[in-house]
Amino acid sequence: MSVEVVMPKLGMAMKEGTVSIWNKQVGDQVGKGEPIASVSSEKIEIDVESPAEGTLLEIAVPEGEGVPPGAVICYIGNPGEKMAPVNASVQTQEPKGDAESSVKEKPEMSKQVKTGGDRVKISPVARKMAEAGGINISEIQGTGPGGRITKEDVQESLKQSREQKAEEKERDKTALEPAEQAKEMKVSGIRKVIAGRMHDSLQQTAQLTMNMKVDVTELIALQKQTAKTVQNRYENKLTMTDFIARAVVLSLQQHPQMNSAYINETIHFFQHVHLGMAVAVDKGLVVPVIRHSEKCSLVELSRSIKTLAQKARVGQLSNEEMQGSTFTISNLGSYGVEHFTPILNPPESGILGVGAVYETPVFKGEELDKRSILPLSLTFDHRVLDGAPAAAFLQSVKQFLEEPVTMLL
Protein backbone atom coordinates (compact mmCIF):
# COMPACT_ATOMS: atom_id res chain seq x y z
CA MET A 1 0.00 0.00 0.00
CA SER A 2 1.32 3.48 -0.89
CA VAL A 3 2.13 6.10 1.73
CA GLU A 4 0.17 9.34 2.01
CA VAL A 5 1.96 12.68 2.33
CA VAL A 6 -0.30 15.27 3.95
CA MET A 7 -0.37 19.05 4.29
CA PRO A 8 1.38 19.87 7.61
CA LYS A 9 -0.18 22.21 10.16
CA LEU A 10 2.01 25.31 10.35
CA GLY A 11 0.73 26.82 13.58
CA MET A 12 -2.47 26.61 15.60
CA ALA A 13 -4.23 29.34 13.60
CA MET A 14 -3.56 27.78 10.18
CA LYS A 15 -6.70 26.96 8.21
CA GLU A 16 -5.20 26.37 4.79
CA GLY A 17 -1.81 25.61 3.28
CA THR A 18 -0.66 26.13 -0.30
CA VAL A 19 1.73 24.01 -2.34
CA SER A 20 4.27 26.59 -3.56
CA ILE A 21 6.35 24.27 -5.74
CA TRP A 22 6.89 20.57 -6.41
CA ASN A 23 10.57 19.55 -6.33
CA LYS A 24 9.67 16.12 -7.71
CA GLN A 25 7.30 14.99 -10.45
CA VAL A 26 5.19 11.86 -10.88
CA GLY A 27 7.48 8.90 -11.57
CA ASP A 28 10.54 10.40 -9.86
CA GLN A 29 12.43 8.39 -7.26
CA VAL A 30 12.53 9.91 -3.77
CA GLY A 31 14.52 9.03 -0.68
CA LYS A 32 13.25 9.08 2.87
CA GLY A 33 13.66 12.58 4.29
CA GLU A 34 14.22 14.12 0.85
CA PRO A 35 12.37 17.44 0.25
CA ILE A 36 9.64 16.79 -2.30
CA ALA A 37 7.67 20.04 -2.14
CA SER A 38 7.51 23.49 -0.54
CA VAL A 39 4.27 24.47 1.21
CA SER A 40 3.27 27.77 2.78
CA SER A 41 0.68 29.30 5.06
CA GLU A 42 0.06 33.02 5.43
CA LYS A 43 3.51 33.73 6.85
CA ILE A 44 5.57 30.53 6.80
CA GLU A 45 7.05 28.47 3.98
CA ILE A 46 8.72 25.10 4.68
CA ASP A 47 9.91 22.02 2.81
CA VAL A 48 7.86 18.82 3.05
CA GLU A 49 10.06 15.75 3.34
CA SER A 50 9.19 12.30 2.06
CA PRO A 51 8.16 9.95 4.90
CA ALA A 52 9.37 6.92 2.95
CA GLU A 53 11.60 5.80 0.11
CA GLY A 54 9.97 5.01 -3.21
CA THR A 55 8.40 6.60 -6.27
CA LEU A 56 6.17 9.67 -6.44
CA LEU A 57 3.03 7.90 -7.67
CA GLU A 58 0.58 10.76 -7.80
CA ILE A 59 0.36 14.49 -7.06
CA ALA A 60 -3.06 15.25 -5.56
CA VAL A 61 -2.59 19.00 -5.06
CA PRO A 62 -1.03 21.04 -7.89
CA GLU A 63 1.17 24.10 -7.39
CA GLY A 64 -0.69 27.18 -6.19
CA GLU A 65 -3.66 25.26 -4.76
CA GLY A 66 -4.64 25.55 -1.11
CA VAL A 67 -5.95 22.70 1.06
CA PRO A 68 -6.65 22.32 4.81
CA PRO A 69 -4.06 20.77 7.15
CA GLY A 70 -4.13 16.97 6.99
CA ALA A 71 -5.25 16.84 3.36
CA VAL A 72 -3.32 14.37 1.16
CA ILE A 73 -1.03 16.20 -1.27
CA CYS A 74 0.70 13.19 -2.87
CA TYR A 75 1.37 9.44 -2.66
CA ILE A 76 4.74 7.66 -2.30
CA GLY A 77 5.15 3.97 -3.07
CA ASN A 78 6.22 1.43 -5.68
CA PRO A 79 5.18 1.71 -9.35
CA GLY A 80 1.80 0.06 -9.88
CA GLU A 81 1.09 -0.05 -6.18
CA LYS A 82 -2.44 0.50 -4.96
CA MET A 83 -3.20 3.98 -3.66
CA ALA A 84 -3.94 4.34 0.04
CA PRO A 85 -7.54 5.38 0.77
CA VAL A 86 -8.01 9.12 1.37
CA ASN A 87 -7.99 10.00 5.07
CA ALA A 88 -11.56 10.40 6.21
CA SER A 89 -10.64 13.44 8.30
CA VAL A 90 -10.07 15.55 5.18
CA GLN A 91 -13.18 14.45 3.28
CA THR A 92 -15.12 17.49 4.39
CA GLN A 93 -17.43 17.36 1.43
CA GLU A 94 -18.65 13.78 1.95
CA PRO A 95 -22.20 13.53 3.35
CA LYS A 96 -22.59 11.88 6.73
CA GLY A 97 -24.42 8.58 6.77
CA ASP A 98 -24.37 4.93 7.74
CA ALA A 99 -20.78 3.66 7.89
CA GLU A 100 -21.65 0.29 6.39
CA SER A 101 -23.45 1.81 3.43
CA SER A 102 -20.49 4.12 2.82
CA VAL A 103 -18.13 1.17 2.63
CA LYS A 104 -20.40 -0.62 0.19
CA GLU A 105 -20.62 2.43 -2.04
CA LYS A 106 -16.84 2.99 -2.32
CA PRO A 107 -16.31 0.54 -5.23
CA GLU A 108 -18.92 2.51 -7.16
CA MET A 109 -17.37 5.91 -6.52
CA SER A 110 -17.39 7.02 -10.16
CA LYS A 111 -18.82 10.51 -9.89
CA GLN A 112 -21.36 11.69 -12.46
CA VAL A 113 -21.50 15.37 -13.34
CA LYS A 114 -24.29 16.95 -15.32
CA THR A 115 -23.25 18.74 -18.48
CA GLY A 116 -26.38 19.86 -20.22
CA GLY A 117 -28.65 16.88 -20.67
CA ASP A 118 -25.89 14.26 -20.49
CA ARG A 119 -23.97 12.74 -17.58
CA VAL A 120 -20.21 12.35 -17.56
CA LYS A 121 -18.66 9.38 -15.75
CA ILE A 122 -15.46 10.34 -13.97
CA SER A 123 -13.46 9.05 -11.02
CA PRO A 124 -13.05 11.36 -7.98
CA VAL A 125 -9.28 11.63 -8.45
CA ALA A 126 -9.68 12.49 -12.13
CA ARG A 127 -12.36 15.04 -11.33
CA LYS A 128 -10.15 16.75 -8.75
CA MET A 129 -7.22 16.85 -11.19
CA ALA A 130 -9.45 18.35 -13.88
CA GLU A 131 -10.81 21.02 -11.55
CA ALA A 132 -7.32 21.94 -10.35
CA GLY A 133 -6.07 22.18 -13.92
CA GLY A 134 -9.07 24.16 -15.16
CA ILE A 135 -10.05 21.43 -17.63
CA ASN A 136 -13.67 21.12 -18.82
CA ILE A 137 -14.47 17.42 -18.29
CA SER A 138 -17.15 17.50 -20.97
CA GLU A 139 -14.34 17.97 -23.53
CA ILE A 140 -12.39 14.90 -22.35
CA GLN A 141 -12.83 11.58 -24.15
CA GLY A 142 -12.97 8.85 -21.50
CA THR A 143 -11.08 5.63 -22.17
CA GLY A 144 -12.29 3.72 -19.11
CA PRO A 145 -15.15 1.19 -18.94
CA GLY A 146 -18.35 2.69 -20.31
CA GLY A 147 -16.52 5.84 -21.40
CA ARG A 148 -15.49 6.64 -17.81
CA ILE A 149 -12.85 9.39 -17.56
CA THR A 150 -9.72 8.19 -15.75
CA LYS A 151 -6.85 10.14 -14.26
CA GLU A 152 -4.73 9.12 -17.27
CA ASP A 153 -7.28 10.82 -19.54
CA VAL A 154 -7.06 14.00 -17.48
CA GLN A 155 -3.26 13.89 -17.42
CA GLU A 156 -3.20 13.61 -21.20
CA SER A 157 -5.64 16.52 -21.50
CA LEU A 158 -3.50 18.61 -19.13
CA LYS A 159 -0.41 17.75 -21.15
CA GLN A 160 -2.08 18.87 -24.37
CA SER A 161 -3.29 22.05 -22.69
CA ARG A 162 0.21 22.85 -21.42
CA GLU A 163 1.72 22.22 -24.83
CA GLN A 164 -0.87 24.47 -26.46
CA LYS A 165 -0.24 27.26 -23.95
CA ALA A 166 3.52 26.89 -24.42
CA GLU A 167 3.12 27.20 -28.18
CA GLU A 168 0.94 30.29 -27.77
CA LYS A 169 3.44 31.86 -25.37
CA GLU A 170 6.30 31.10 -27.75
CA ARG A 171 4.38 32.74 -30.60
CA ASP A 172 3.79 35.80 -28.43
CA LYS A 173 7.48 36.01 -27.52
CA THR A 174 8.63 35.77 -31.13
CA ALA A 175 6.40 38.74 -31.89
CA LEU A 176 8.38 40.87 -29.41
CA GLU A 177 11.69 42.58 -29.96
CA PRO A 178 14.61 40.77 -28.25
CA ALA A 179 15.01 43.63 -25.75
CA GLU A 180 11.39 43.20 -24.63
CA GLN A 181 11.67 39.54 -23.68
CA ALA A 182 11.78 38.93 -19.93
CA LYS A 183 12.12 36.03 -17.54
CA GLU A 184 8.87 35.22 -15.79
CA MET A 185 8.38 34.00 -12.22
CA LYS A 186 5.01 33.10 -10.74
CA VAL A 187 4.33 34.95 -7.49
CA SER A 188 3.53 32.47 -4.71
CA GLY A 189 4.26 31.62 -1.08
CA ILE A 190 5.72 34.32 1.16
CA ARG A 191 6.34 36.71 -1.76
CA LYS A 192 2.63 36.59 -2.65
CA VAL A 193 1.64 37.25 0.97
CA ILE A 194 4.05 40.20 1.23
CA ALA A 195 2.80 41.67 -2.04
CA GLY A 196 -0.81 41.50 -0.87
CA ARG A 197 -0.13 42.90 2.60
CA MET A 198 2.01 45.80 1.38
CA HIS A 199 -0.55 46.75 -1.28
CA ASP A 200 -3.36 46.63 1.27
CA SER A 201 -1.27 48.67 3.71
CA LEU A 202 -0.86 51.53 1.23
CA GLN A 203 -4.48 51.32 0.09
CA GLN A 204 -6.12 51.18 3.52
CA THR A 205 -4.01 53.53 5.68
CA ALA A 206 -3.02 57.21 5.67
CA GLN A 207 0.76 56.87 5.82
CA LEU A 208 3.19 59.71 6.45
CA THR A 209 6.96 59.44 6.96
CA MET A 210 9.22 61.85 8.87
CA ASN A 211 13.01 61.71 9.15
CA MET A 212 15.39 62.59 11.98
CA LYS A 213 19.14 62.39 12.53
CA VAL A 214 20.52 61.13 15.84
CA ASP A 215 24.03 61.72 17.20
CA VAL A 216 25.10 58.28 18.47
CA THR A 217 28.74 59.12 19.19
CA GLU A 218 28.31 58.60 22.95
CA LEU A 219 26.26 55.45 22.35
CA ILE A 220 29.03 53.89 20.27
CA ALA A 221 31.53 54.79 23.00
CA LEU A 222 29.31 53.17 25.67
CA GLN A 223 28.89 50.09 23.48
CA LYS A 224 32.68 49.70 23.25
CA GLN A 225 33.21 50.36 26.97
CA THR A 226 30.71 47.71 28.05
CA ALA A 227 31.54 45.12 25.37
CA LYS A 228 34.01 43.09 27.46
CA THR A 229 31.82 43.10 30.59
CA VAL A 230 28.71 42.06 28.67
CA GLN A 231 30.64 39.28 26.92
CA ASN A 232 32.16 37.92 30.13
CA ARG A 233 29.04 38.17 32.26
CA TYR A 234 26.27 37.41 29.76
CA GLU A 235 28.13 35.78 26.83
CA ASN A 236 26.45 38.27 24.55
CA LYS A 237 27.27 41.24 22.34
CA LEU A 238 25.14 44.38 22.38
CA THR A 239 24.59 45.77 18.89
CA MET A 240 23.29 49.12 17.68
CA THR A 241 20.01 47.37 16.85
CA ASP A 242 19.68 46.24 20.48
CA PHE A 243 20.05 49.79 21.79
CA ILE A 244 17.60 51.13 19.19
CA ALA A 245 15.04 48.47 20.16
CA ARG A 246 15.43 49.40 23.83
CA ALA A 247 14.99 53.11 23.04
CA VAL A 248 11.85 52.35 21.02
CA VAL A 249 10.31 50.24 23.80
CA LEU A 250 10.93 52.96 26.41
CA SER A 251 9.55 55.63 24.06
CA LEU A 252 6.41 53.64 23.31
CA GLN A 253 5.70 53.50 27.04
CA GLN A 254 5.96 57.29 27.16
CA HIS A 255 3.81 57.72 24.02
CA PRO A 256 1.07 55.03 24.13
CA GLN A 257 -0.72 56.58 21.14
CA MET A 258 2.04 55.17 18.93
CA ASN A 259 1.64 51.71 20.51
CA SER A 260 -1.81 51.25 18.98
CA ALA A 261 -3.78 49.85 16.04
CA TYR A 262 -6.61 51.15 13.85
CA ILE A 263 -9.23 48.38 13.58
CA ASN A 264 -12.81 48.80 12.32
CA GLU A 265 -12.80 52.59 12.79
CA THR A 266 -11.62 52.14 16.38
CA ILE A 267 -8.20 52.94 17.85
CA HIS A 268 -6.95 50.18 20.15
CA PHE A 269 -4.31 51.26 22.70
CA PHE A 270 -2.16 48.38 23.92
CA GLN A 271 -0.94 48.04 27.50
CA HIS A 272 2.06 45.94 26.52
CA VAL A 273 4.74 46.44 23.88
CA HIS A 274 5.01 43.52 21.46
CA LEU A 275 7.96 44.55 19.31
CA GLY A 276 8.25 43.29 15.72
CA MET A 277 11.76 43.06 14.25
CA ALA A 278 11.79 42.74 10.44
CA VAL A 279 14.23 40.07 9.20
CA ALA A 280 15.20 39.56 5.55
CA VAL A 281 15.24 35.90 4.45
CA ASP A 282 15.84 34.29 1.06
CA LYS A 283 12.15 34.20 0.12
CA GLY A 284 11.09 37.59 1.47
CA LEU A 285 10.65 39.45 4.73
CA VAL A 286 9.37 38.04 8.03
CA VAL A 287 8.63 39.88 11.28
CA PRO A 288 9.24 37.84 14.45
CA VAL A 289 7.69 39.37 17.57
CA ILE A 290 9.25 39.90 21.01
CA ARG A 291 6.22 39.83 23.29
CA HIS A 292 6.08 41.96 26.45
CA SER A 293 9.27 43.77 25.44
CA GLU A 294 8.75 46.35 28.19
CA LYS A 295 9.55 43.63 30.75
CA CYS A 296 12.92 42.81 29.15
CA SER A 297 16.24 44.27 30.22
CA LEU A 298 18.62 45.45 27.50
CA VAL A 299 20.50 42.12 27.57
CA GLU A 300 17.27 40.06 27.54
CA LEU A 301 15.96 42.10 24.63
CA SER A 302 19.24 41.56 22.77
CA ARG A 303 19.07 37.79 23.27
CA SER A 304 15.47 37.62 22.07
CA ILE A 305 16.29 39.62 18.94
CA LYS A 306 19.21 37.35 18.05
CA THR A 307 17.35 34.11 18.81
CA LEU A 308 14.28 35.00 16.73
CA ALA A 309 16.39 36.36 13.87
CA GLN A 310 18.34 33.09 13.69
CA LYS A 311 15.12 31.04 13.74
CA ALA A 312 13.77 33.24 10.93
CA ARG A 313 16.82 32.65 8.74
CA VAL A 314 16.61 28.87 9.06
CA GLY A 315 12.83 28.81 8.62
CA GLN A 316 11.98 27.61 12.14
CA LEU A 317 9.66 30.43 13.25
CA SER A 318 6.17 29.36 14.29
CA ASN A 319 3.03 31.24 13.30
CA GLU A 320 2.60 32.38 16.91
CA GLU A 321 6.09 33.95 16.90
CA MET A 322 5.07 36.21 13.99
CA GLN A 323 1.71 37.45 15.25
CA GLY A 324 0.50 40.19 17.57
CA SER A 325 3.13 42.89 17.09
CA THR A 326 2.15 46.43 18.12
CA PHE A 327 5.13 48.28 16.57
CA THR A 328 7.83 47.25 14.08
CA ILE A 329 11.49 48.14 13.49
CA SER A 330 13.05 47.69 10.02
CA ASN A 331 16.83 48.09 9.78
CA LEU A 332 18.55 48.56 6.39
CA GLY A 333 21.74 50.03 7.83
CA SER A 334 23.79 46.97 6.95
CA TYR A 335 23.02 47.65 3.27
CA GLY A 336 24.40 51.21 3.45
CA VAL A 337 20.94 52.77 3.15
CA GLU A 338 20.44 56.04 5.04
CA HIS A 339 16.85 57.33 4.90
CA PHE A 340 14.03 55.25 3.41
CA THR A 341 10.25 54.99 3.65
CA PRO A 342 9.16 51.89 5.60
CA ILE A 343 5.61 50.66 4.98
CA LEU A 344 3.27 50.04 7.92
CA ASN A 345 2.66 46.48 9.05
CA PRO A 346 -1.18 46.59 9.43
CA PRO A 347 -2.94 47.15 11.72
CA GLU A 348 -0.02 48.82 13.55
CA SER A 349 0.14 52.61 13.75
CA GLY A 350 3.90 52.95 13.42
CA ILE A 351 7.11 51.49 12.01
CA LEU A 352 10.65 52.80 12.48
CA GLY A 353 13.16 52.58 9.64
CA VAL A 354 16.83 52.51 10.70
CA GLY A 355 19.58 53.61 8.30
CA ALA A 356 23.35 53.29 8.24
CA VAL A 357 25.51 55.22 10.72
CA TYR A 358 27.85 57.68 9.03
CA GLU A 359 30.49 60.09 10.29
CA THR A 360 30.33 63.82 9.61
CA PRO A 361 31.93 67.01 11.03
CA VAL A 362 29.63 68.84 13.44
CA PHE A 363 30.13 72.15 15.25
CA LYS A 364 30.08 71.83 19.05
CA GLY A 365 30.09 75.46 20.07
CA GLU A 366 33.09 76.93 18.31
CA GLU A 367 34.81 73.59 17.84
CA LEU A 368 34.44 71.31 14.81
CA ASP A 369 34.14 67.68 15.89
CA LYS A 370 33.71 64.36 14.08
CA ARG A 371 30.40 62.80 15.11
CA SER A 372 28.56 59.54 14.28
CA ILE A 373 25.07 60.14 12.89
CA LEU A 374 22.21 57.62 12.74
CA PRO A 375 19.33 58.34 10.28
CA LEU A 376 15.83 57.34 11.44
CA SER A 377 12.60 57.25 9.39
CA LEU A 378 9.25 56.98 11.17
CA THR A 379 6.15 56.03 9.17
CA PHE A 380 2.88 56.45 11.07
CA ASP A 381 -0.86 56.18 10.39
CA HIS A 382 -2.26 59.73 10.19
CA ARG A 383 -5.73 58.35 11.02
CA VAL A 384 -4.47 57.48 14.51
CA LEU A 385 -2.22 60.42 15.37
CA ASP A 386 -1.02 63.70 13.90
CA GLY A 387 2.46 64.90 13.06
CA ALA A 388 3.18 66.57 16.42
CA PRO A 389 2.68 63.48 18.67
CA ALA A 390 4.51 61.33 16.12
CA ALA A 391 7.42 63.79 16.17
CA ALA A 392 7.36 63.76 19.99
CA PHE A 393 7.74 59.98 19.97
CA LEU A 394 10.65 60.19 17.53
CA GLN A 395 12.21 62.90 19.69
CA SER A 396 12.04 60.55 22.70
CA VAL A 397 13.85 57.83 20.74
CA LYS A 398 16.50 60.39 19.82
CA GLN A 399 16.95 61.48 23.46
CA PHE A 400 17.42 57.91 24.71
CA LEU A 401 20.00 57.17 22.00
CA GLU A 402 21.90 60.42 22.55
CA GLU A 403 21.88 59.87 26.35
CA PRO A 404 22.41 56.09 26.34
CA VAL A 405 23.06 55.79 30.06
CA THR A 406 19.35 56.51 30.64
CA MET A 407 18.52 53.17 28.95
CA LEU A 408 20.55 51.33 31.59
CA LEU A 409 18.91 52.90 34.63
Query: Whole-prediction pTM value?
Result: 0.61
367-397: burial string, b at 16+ Cβ within 10 Å, e else? eeeebbbbbbbbbbbeebbeeeebeebbebb
pLDDT tens-digit series, residues 292-303:
999 999 999 999
Whether residue 333 is found in the same domain as residue 201 = yes
Asked whether residue 179 is domain-assigned, the answer is no
Q: Are residues 308 and 209 in the same domain?
A: yes
Do 144 and 67 lie in one domain? The reply is no
Same domain, 41 and 164: no
**Do 117 and 217 belong to one domain?**
no
Does residue 238 sit in the same domain as residue 317?
Answer: yes
CB-count exposure of residue 40 (10 Å: 0-12, 13-18, 19+) = buried
Q: Are 342 and 351 in contact, with CB atoms under 8 Å apart?
A: yes
CA 348/CA 380 separation, integer angstroms = 9
Helix/strand/coil for 164:
helix
**Predicted local distance difference test score (pLDDT) of residue 180:** 58
Same-domain check for residues 352 and 274: yes
Q: Which of 57, 74, 94 is the last residue of a domain?
A: 94
**Domain assignment present for 379:** yes
Q: Are residues 231 and 130 in the same domain?
A: no
pLDDT tens profile 179-215: 556 777 777 677 777 788 788 888 888 999 999 999 9
| Residues catalogued as catalytic | 382, 386
User: What's the pLDDT score for residue 87?
Assistant: 46
**Do 150 and 78 share a structural domain?**
no
* Same domain, yes or no: 110 and 206: no
Q: What is the pLDDT of residue 177?
A: 57
pLDDT of residue 161: 83
Domain stop point among 61, 94, 127: 94
Domain span including residue 387: 191-407
- Is 185 among the domain residues? no
Q: What is the number of domains present in the chain?
A: 3
* CA angle centred on 246, ends 243 and 251, rounded to 5°: 125
* Confidence (pLDDT) at 252: 97
| pLDDT (0 to 100) of residue 178 | 59
Kindly report the CATH number assigned to the domain that includes residue 153.
4.10.320.10
Average pLDDT per block of 10 residues along the chain, 409 residues long: 87 81 90 89 81 92 88 90 56 40 39 48 76 82 80 84 80 63 73 80 91 97 95 95 98 96 92 95 88 96 96 90 94 93 93 96 88 97 95 98 93
| pLDDT at 85 (0 to 100) | 61
